[in-house]
Amino acid sequence: MNTSTVEIIILIIHFLFFIYACTAIASYIILAMISSKETIEYMKKNSFVNYKEILSSTISPSITIIAPAYNESLNIIENVRSLLSSHYVNYDVVIVNDGSKDDSLEKMIVAYDLVKVDFLINQQIPTKPIRAGVFKSTNPAFEKLTVVDKVNGGKADALNMGLNISKSDYVACIDVDCLLLENSLQKMIKPFLEVTDKTVIATGGVIRIANSCIIKDGKLLDVNFPKKLIEKAQILEYIRAFLLGRMAWSRLNGLLVISGAFGLFNKKVAIEVGGYDTNTVGEDMELIVRMRRYMEETKQKYKVAYIPDPLCWTEAPDNYKIFISQRNRWTRGTIETLRMHRKVAFNPKYKSLGLLSYPYWLLYERLAPVIEVIGIIYFIILAALNEVRWDYALAFIILAYLFAVLFSIVAIFSEELTYHQYKKKGTGFKLIMISLLEPFVLHPFILYAAIRGNIDYYFNKKKKWGEMTRKGMATS
């Protein structure tokens, strides 16, 4: 190999990096434009729907909320209470106590007057067996509640138990510590019932961050902007991802992920595909991909819908250690899902799933951190060899930074023009400040966690799930 070949190879690599960066930026811009179009339409369509006066009757389809709980004793009573206060009429709540080692079950038995009942389970998806039994309340005020105590099998296994137990047409799978607004089920069920020419297999909701918000008796009383940088930065990140990213993918019918914290599923399809996969840490993404695949393979028209309203509030990690372990897990979940379904990639048989959604996720979500790190290492090598034109590099870095900031600000605008959740005076300034700081206070940690996720996935297969220790919900 002579010098000129090496030079050509290096040139090609440079060119590829450049193309990658340009397409990534272009995709952000395109997605933002699509999402603003979709958002405007959504707002117009729903501006005069009075959710209070509709769907309170029993003609509406049945929904089961399935909430797996593992060692949640600290807040379980409050959390269950919040789940029981939905305004939708035809729904019930199944709490799956996934082999908790604490006194969650005992606490629920006392608080909700539970007694053990005979329950015939149609075991359509295999799960770990029942432990203490199935419980229902003797108090008519809690008749919607069922508690199942089973042997520990992980979140996916617990959700599968819920799928087996539910007698409803639709299931809402949620994290037990999520706070749902009272009209969330009405809003989430709407897409399933509106579409006449295809089957809606799932609807995803937005996750909002409840840190520092005032919550009492399972109800959100006041929305506050938290103090810690990491919490503020995550709020910005969520607004960006949900209002600018997912909204656009929903328009393209290309959503690959419905947040595990809150999603509504067509139970029949979810069971037909075999429920949640218990062997992955990314069971929420994996299920959607598998359901989409199934619909494509059986040639049925389908849609994965998405509701941008702030309906589900949850506590986000408030320290870097937990944050990193959460993102590490997300990364492994993505890698696993994409690998399991690699058959779909670039396969025209799967239409937009194979040609658009999957490749996009592979290139710009799965590989982005890897490519970024390679770029950084390459840059360091060049710097060491004194091959960097610092003035040019600086110009590009400034440009990239400004683009990131601009994009965040656009996201803030879409939040202000739609839901305007952070109403308090002064929060606008804080939002701007955090969009300037976020590339320094959050992005490096996301990158680090993603790389750790890759390393753990390939070299540390036995790694158990990072358990997310949760801080108690702020109560007043």
Partner 1 sequence: MYSYQHFIDYFKNAPAIIQVVWVMIVLFMVIIIILIIYLKLLRSRLRKNEKIVAQYQNEYESNLITYLYSGNEEEEISAEQQLIVEKLKSCVPDKFKRRVVVSTLLRLRNEISGEMAESIQKLYFQTGLINYALSSLKSKKWYVVAKGIRELAQFHVKEVNDQIVIHVNNPNKEIRKEVQLYLVTLFHFEGLKFLDVLQTQLSEWDQIQLLEVLQRFDEQEIPNINPWLKSKNDSVVIFAIKLAKIYNQFEAKDTLLDLLEHRHKKIRVEAIQVLSHLQVYEAKEVLKNKFNELSLEEQIAFFKLLENVFESSDESFLQEHIQHKNFEIKVSALKIFKLLNIEKFHSFKRLLSAPKDAEIIEFIENN
Partner 2 sequence: MSDAKKIVLAEDNSTLSLLLKFRLEKEGYKLLIAADGKEAIELIEQHDPELILTDIMMPFISGLEVISHVRNKLNKQTPIIVFSAAGQEEMVLKAFNLGANDFMGKPFSPNELVIRVKRLLR
Q: Does 299 bind partner 1 (CB under 8 A)?
A: no
* Binding residues for partner 2 restricted to 366-425, rule: CB under 8 A: none
Contact 138, 115 (CB under 8 A): yes
Q: Which stretch binds partner 2 (CB under 8 A): 15-23, 56-64, 241-249, 371-379?
A: 56-64
Q: Which stretch binds partner 2 (CB under 8 A): 27-35, 170-178, 215-223, 420-428?
A: 215-223
Distance of CA 95 to the CA centre of its chain: 20
Amino acid at 246: R
Q: Does 48 bind partner 1 (CB under 8 A)?
A: yes
Q: What distance, in Å, lies between the first and last C-alpha atoms of the chain? A: 71
Contact 150, 129 (CB under 8 A): yes
Q: Does 192 bind partner 1 (CB under 8 A)?
A: yes
Do the strands 262-266 and 170-174 form a parallel or antiparallel pair, or are they unpaired? antiparallel
**Among the listed residues 106, 194, 217, 467, the single contact to partner 2 using CB under 8 A:** 217
Contact 294, 272 (CB under 8 A): yes
Binds 402, which of partner 2, partner 1, none (CB < 5 to 8 A, cut-off by type)? Answer: partner 1
Q: Does 52 bind partner 2 (CB under 8 A)?
A: yes
Amino acid at 27: S
φ and ψ at 93, to 5 degrees?
Answer: -125, 130
SS3 of residue 353 by DSSP = helix
Binds 140, which of partner 1, partner 2, none (CB < 5 to 8 A, cut-off by type)? Answer: partner 2
Do the strands 91-98 and 63-69 form a parallel or antiparallel pair, or are they unpaired? parallel
* Binding residues for partner 1 restricted to 352-411, rule: CB under 8 A: 391-392, 395-396, 398-399, 402-403, 405-406, 409-410
Which DSSP letter does residue 166 get? -
Binds 89, which of partner 2, partner 1, none (CB < 5 to 8 A, cut-off by type)? Answer: partner 2
**Among the listed residues 129, 140, 348, 426, the single contact to partner 2 using CB under 8 A:** 140
Q: Which residue has the tokens 């598998």?
A: 290
Q: Which stretch binds partner 2 (CB under 8 A): 51-59, 66-74, 157-165, 321-329?
A: 51-59
Binds 217, which of partner 1, partner 2, none (CB < 5 to 8 A, cut-off by type)? Answer: partner 2
Between 123 and 300, name the residue whose CB sits nearer to partner 1.
123
Q: Does 44 bind partner 1 (CB under 8 A)?
A: yes
H or E stretch including 19?
Answer: helix 3-46
Q: Which residue has the tokens 């690599």?
A: 13
Q: Does 141 bind partner 2 (CB under 8 A)?
A: yes
DSSP string, 171-190: EEEE-TT-EE-TTHHHHHHH
Whole-angstrom Cα distance, residue 439 to residue 436?
A: 7
Contact 69, 76 (CB under 8 A): yes
Query: Where does this chain bind partner 1 (CB under 8 A)?
Result: 44-45, 47-48, 53-57, 59-61, 118-120, 122-124, 190, 192-197, 391-392, 395-396, 398-399, 402-403, 405-406, 409-410, 412-413, 416-417, 420, 423, 425, 428-429, 431-432
Query: Where does this chain bind partner 2 (CB under 8 A)?
Result: 52-53, 56-58, 85, 87, 89, 140-141, 182, 216-217, 219, 221
